[in-house]
Amino acid sequence: MNSGDTAWMLISSALVLFMTPGLAFFYGGMVRAKNVLGMLMKNYIAMGIVTITWVIVGYSLAFAPDMGGGFLGGLDFVGLKGVESVFAEGEEAGAIHAVPVPDTVIMVFQMMFAIITPALISGAIAERMKFTAWAVFVAIWSIVVYAPMAHWVWNAGGFLAKLGAVDFAGGTVVHINAGAAALAVILVLGPRLGFRREAIRPHSLPLTLLGAGMLWFGWFGFNAGSSFGANGLAANAFITTQIAAATAGTVWALMEHMTRGKATTLGFASGAVAGLVAVTPAAGFVGPMSSMLIGALAGAVCYLALQIKFKLNVDDALDVLAVHLVGGILGSLAIGFLGQNAINSFTKDGLLFGGGMDQLIAQTIAVAVAAVYSFVVTWILAKAIDVTMGLRISETDERRGVDLSMHEEQSYVMSE
Amino acid sequence: MKMIVAYINPFKLDEIRDALKEAGVSGLSVSNIQGFGRQAGHTETYRGAEYEVDFVPKVRVEVLVDDTLAPSVISTIETTARTGSIGDGKIAVLPVEDVIRIRTGERGRDAL
């Protein structure tokens, strides 16, 4: 065991977990005051439920030896059976993950990704989804959508991994997955009362900026931790993460300034998150100037993508499509142009580094597979929950707000 | 006795408090409110979506005063709150039937 690597992976795991509360506050500030606790709870409950599903079966379906065809892990690690904190006598690495870090540490690091991915979807369904329906959705989704996709991309036996597609920290598995799922759920769920007619405004942007800061901070664990060691690749991922986030936030603010005359705080925070999303798949495959280009594109493209929901006329309340689906696609494809084999031997050189079309084709297939699988299975799941237990709160409850109608609590009480 | 209710620009509050103290007012209440008058609303932009917001933030100042003090309090608020631009606000003057100091039970002018 390497204590430096293990220490970094333990810290990274905590950093990634910290992103989910960050996301909760990022989203929580953007909803109306009557729906804040409902928003926070939809994120926090993911920390509860997905920990349970991951330990019992999710980790096994994702990382156990392949059942055949590269589509699903087996049941060898159900209940974490055989996932050890110490190495076998004379071994330098864990039995499952070929790194000098205990398998339990890699398992818990991956758990934090499994938690935040369904939590990302909560931004799209904000202010109108039933809490119990959400809880059931998260439990099943983490098993039937997240775990298989993690297997395809991140298990050496997965079919997308064998195809040569790469995803450093979750462009396909996390962001495209959550973004496509968000679209599927809101198609079943329908728009909020007053969508496109009333001014539904963020109730506390300071909370949103606080959450964005927590996300940015935690993202260093997400991306630099995905090197699975305290090494040069982690350093590369760390700096590309910082550069992309900073550039995307700045470019988004600049776009606002140029098109509307004023840069906004929500715009800078949104841009930074879009940059973090876009660099996620690429962080360990591209160099600093490439990450600046990815950040600049993310800031500009995701800003323009905000119009999608109005074009499609779907109420993606907090813009999960524009930020996570579009940002995830952008970053995943960017590897096909900007990836460098010298930085990480898992990728071929991208188109702009003289490597030809191979990596770009593999990336395109992975993007399409992730988006289509997530959309289709999530739509079926949402429809099934809608028919059996109802996905949406009543009109009266929606007007009263999720906080009172789902949780019998209020975010802001008058005095004492 | 009079209840003087003034709807003012929030940035004028400190100035008005100081001026009213100077004028001999022994207490006042303020609250954050939102409303619209001739100033109408304003535009807010969130992630590129523009919203016309009718209500603008204002501060409501309430002062209970004796009839003799009322004219100077009104003119103090009027001159201090005025910028000359639309949105300076309004002052309402209401007759007060009785005032009770809760701690002592004093009534009327003694309770002011």
pLDDT tens per residue across span A181-198: 999 999 999 999 999 888
Closest CA to A344 of A235, A216, A247: A235
* Tens-digit pLDDT profile for residues A108-119: 999 999 999 999
Q: Per-residue pLDDT for A319 more than 80?
A: yes
pLDDT range class, residue A413, cuts 50, 70, 90: confident
Strand partners, B93: B4
Closest CA to A122 of A139, A112, A134: A134
Q: Residues of A with CB below 8 A from B36's CB?
A: none
ipTM: 0.81
Q: How crowded is residue A85: how many other Cβ atoms within 10 Å of its Cβ?
A: 11
Residue A306 is nearest to which of B47, B50, B51, comparing CB atoms? B47
pLDDT of residue A309: 87
**Above pLDDT 70, what percent of chain B?**
100
- The pLDDT of A51-64, averaged and rounded, is 98
Strands (E), chain B: 2-8, 29-35, 42-46, 49-53, 56-65, 89-95
pLDDT of residue A160: 97
- The pLDDT of A402-411, averaged and rounded, is 96
The overall average pLDDT reported for chain A is 96
Closest CA to A45 of A24, A75, A66, A68: A24
pLDDT of residue B84: 92
C-beta contacts of A96-102 below 8 A and 24+ residues apart: A96/A63, A97/A63, A97/A228, A99/A5, A99/A228, A99/A229, A100/A1, A100/A2, A100/A5, A100/A6, A100/A229, A101/A1, A101/A2, A101/A5, A101/A6, A101/A9, A101/A228, A101/A229, A102/A1, A102/A6
Instruction: Answer left, alpha or beta for residue A216, where phi above 0 means left and psi between -120 and 50 means alpha.
Output: alpha
pLDDT of residue A415: 66
Q: Cβ–Cβ of A306/B45 closer than 8 Å?
A: no
Crossing angle of the two packed helices A288-305 and A265-279, in degrees rounded to 10: 130
B47 touches A at CB < 8 Å: yes
pLDDT of residue A308: 86
Q: Per-residue pLDDT for A71 more than 90?
A: yes
Q: Residues of B with CB below 8 A from A264's CB?
A: 45-46
Cα A327 from Cα A65, distance rounded (Å): 31
Q: Residue A191 burial by CB count (10 A; 0-12/13-18/19+): exposed, middle or buried?
A: middle
* Tens-digit pLDDT profile for residues A5-22: 999 999 999 999 999 999
pLDDT of residue B112: 87
Per-residue burial over B15-42, b if 16 or more Cβ lie within 10 Å, else e, is ebeebbeebebeebebeeeeeeeeeeee
Written out in words, the top-level CATH class of the domain with range A3-407 is: mainly alpha
Confirm if A9 and A228 have CB atoms less than 8 A apart. yes
**Above pLDDT 90, what percent of chain A?**
94
User: Is A292 in a helix, a strand, or coil?
Assistant: helix
pLDDT range class, residue A32, cuts 50, 70, 90: very high
Q: How crowded is residue A399: how many other Cβ atoms within 10 Å of its Cβ?
A: 12
A173: its two tokens: 């598995």
pTM for the structure as a whole: 0.92
Rg of chain B over all Cα atoms, to the nearest angstrom: 17
Closest CA to A276 of A216, A354, A231, A198: A216
The domain spans of chain A are: 3-407
**C-alpha A53, offset from chain centre:** 18
What is the least distance, in Å, from the CA of B68 to any CA of chain A?
35
Q: How crowded is residue B112: how many other Cβ atoms within 10 Å of its Cβ?
A: 16
* Tens-digit pLDDT profile for residues A92-107: 999 999 999 999 999 9
Q: Which of B45, B47, B51, B53 to mutate to test the interface with A (most CBs of A within 10 A)?
A: B47
Closest residue, chain A, to B44 (C-alpha)? A201
Q: Per-residue pLDDT for A416 more than 70?
A: no
C-beta contacts of A342-348 below 8 A and 24+ residues apart: A343/A233, A343/A236, A343/A284, A343/A285, A343/A286, A343/A287, A344/A168, A344/A233, A344/A236, A344/A284, A344/A285, A346/A166, A346/A285, A347/A166, A347/A285, A348/A164
pLDDT range class, residue A207, cuts 50, 70, 90: very high
- The pLDDT of B45-72, averaged and rounded, is 91
